[in-house]
């Protein structure tokens, strides 16, 4: 399993695919499949049967996973997409934005 540079809670931008240019917050990351669920991006319609939770059933809109390679972290300083680097500060390993050299 490879080390991913995107974590849940990060603000990301979609850089490729149907939803290119849209931004959102990462809700969860699936490290086995290299996919992430981003809030408000890659919405799909899911047909649900009536159940105790939803007695009406019907069509529910929800986010589908999107591949990590199609996501880029947003730099807090420049507000644009940036690549992520790792460096050691003191005894901690931290992520930093390559555009502004700012710790994330």
**pLDDT tens, position by position, 38-63:** 998 999 999 998 988 878 888 989 99
CB 6 within 8 A of CB 29: yes
* pLDDT at site 64: 93
Angstrom distance (rounded) from CA 95 to CA 72: 13
Angstrom distance (rounded) from CA 102 to CA 46: 40
Fold category of 11-50+58-75 in CATH: SH3 type barrels. (2.30.30)
What percentage of residues in the chain have a pLDDT greater than 90?
37
Measured in degrees and rounded to the nearest 5, phi and psi for residue 27 equal -90, -40
DSSP category for residue 99: T
């Amino acid at each position: 399993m490879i080390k991913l540079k995107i974590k849940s809670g990060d603000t990301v931008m979609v850089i490729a695919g149907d939803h290119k240019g849209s931004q959102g917050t990462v809700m969860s990351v699936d490290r086995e499949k290299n996919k992430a669920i981003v809030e408000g991006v890659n919405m799909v319609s899911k047909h649900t049967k009536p159940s105790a939770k939803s007695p009406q059933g019907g069509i529910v809109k929800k986010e589908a996973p999107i591949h990590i390679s199609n996501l880029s972290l947003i730099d807090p300083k420049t507000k644009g997409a940036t690549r992520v680097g790792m460096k050691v500060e003191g005894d901690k390993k931290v992520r930093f934005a390559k555009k502004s050299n700012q710790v994330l």
